[in-house]
Amino acid sequence: MSPFGYGTRRGLPGSYFLVGLVGAIVGGLLVGAAVMSAVDRRIAALPDALKEPGPGRVPAGEVQPPATGRSSSVVAAIARDVGPSVVKISTLRERVFYNFFFERMVQQEEGLGSGVIFDRQGHVLTNYHVIEKATQIGVVLSDGREFTASVVGGDYYTDLAVLRVKGDDLPVGRLGDSDALQVGGLAVAIGNPFGFDHTVTAGVISALGRSLPLDEEQGIYLENLIQTDAPINPGNSGGALVDETGAVVGINTAIISQAQGIGFAIPIKTARRIASEIIEYGKVRRPWIGITQVWAITPDVARDYRLPVDSGLAIVSYVRQSPAAAAGLRRGDVIISAGGKRVKTIADLRDAVTSAGIGGRLDLEVYRDGRVVKATVAVGEAP
């Protein structure tokens, strides 16, 4: 017997399998042809308008190209017209620290931001936090020109600052009317996020009149901000927020880092007013009475401390050589009214001082030692 006889006998069923497979394939082709014939008859019965893609129609399986409508052309025009007036700002700061041997060390730190040239004199609007404590400031235009900038002045309370560069044929951004903005309107942000020069992003005006805390304990807020979902990132600070007309309506200033699409800009109406004061006086002149810290009295606090008043501001600290000190105010006094209006929050007192103005007089009602006394403060100018 051949040693391969077993394998030869097992080959016969395989032959039957091949015959069956060929038959299945042939049968499948016949069935498939019948099905396709039926499909062809159904297609022939369809209206002609559905069989061939006409104008605006995309055949099944093909990818439709992106729309190139009005919005994209507007953003492109804004980038072309406003973009050159938005500059890149680079800064150097000195950070002082002490090493293990208590030796004083100085380290240079670099910073990046954005700004907007807003007049022919080369004044640049930006954020105060972009240039705060900077020892050197450089400005780079979109055409590659570089300048050393001087600081005209800055204001912590509105997070705005004005720089100046000296050059010829400087591009100037057109300032718009932030009071005319509407929620849902186009918003285009131009700046230098993470050092990527002259980046343009687009979105909408998400909300108006927002507030963000700068120092909640002192009641210092950035107020009346524009909220937008146009992507804003570190490096965009100080850049332009532009409306659909190509006018600068805000200065980009902050984001909510834990969220997506929540950015804020200072209205250009505020920025224009602050810039004018900085250019004229080198700072923003503000009315001031010298109270530096207060404690808001609520009904719960009044109940716990058995106070006869359920609202007001208790004076925690004040400047010794100040209008408040000169008027006889002291620590522990509870201000219950200012300028004839009840005082419940820090904002109430601040508004009363602002209304009185520098050189004005502010009448206060103060709870002290179990009774209400009156005091008149001569409002001064903040140092």
* 277 and 294 together in one domain: no
CB distance 113 to 92 below 8 Å: no
- How many other CB atoms are there within 10 angstroms of residue 6's CB atom? 9
CB distance 151 to 137 below 8 Å: yes
- Stated pTM of the model: 0.72
* 341 and 264 together in one domain: no
Q: Tokens at residue 299, please?
A: 């009904």
For residue 54, tell me if it sits in a domain: no
Q: pLDDT tens for residues 103-116? A: 888 888 999 999 99
Active-site positions read: 129, 159, 237
For residue 15, tell me if it sits in a domain: no
CB distance 181 to 249 below 8 Å: yes
Number of domains the chain is built from: 3
Q: Tokens at residue 272, please?
A: 């224009």
Q: Of the residues 164, 198, 222, which one is the last residue of a structural domain?
A: 164
* 291 and 254 together in one domain: no
- Spatial separation of the C-alpha atoms in residues 242 and 198, rounded to whole Å: 14
pLDDT at position 329 is: 97
pLDDT-based confidence at 71, cuts 50/70/90?
low
For residue 39, tell me if it sits in a domain: no
**224 or 29: whose pLDDT is higher?**
224
- Spatial separation of the C-alpha atoms in residues 184 and 197, rounded to whole Å: 27
Host domain of residue 373: 287-381
* 363 and 272 together in one domain: no
For residue 142, tell me if it sits in a domain: yes
- Spatial separation of the C-alpha atoms in residues 373 and 371, rounded to whole Å: 6
Is the pLDDT assigned to residue 324 strictly greater than 80?
yes
* 274 and 193 together in one domain: yes
For residue 312, tell me if it sits in a domain: yes
pLDDT-based confidence at 215, cuts 50/70/90?
confident
* 331 and 364 together in one domain: yes
Is the pLDDT assigned to residue 37 strictly greater than 80?
no
Q: pLDDT tens for residues 43-67? A: 344 444 333 444 443 333 333 343 3
> Residue 65, exposed/middle/buried by CB under 10 A (0-12, 13-18, 19+)?
exposed
For residue 204, tell me if it sits in a domain: yes
For residue 42, tell me if it sits in a domain: no
For residue 247, tell me if it sits in a domain: yes
Residues near 293 by beta carbon (within 8 Å), at least 6 away in sequence: 217, 218, 315, 316, 317, 318
CB distance 114 to 239 below 8 Å: yes
Q: pLDDT tens for residues 278-309? A: 999 999 999 999 999 999 999 999 999 888 89
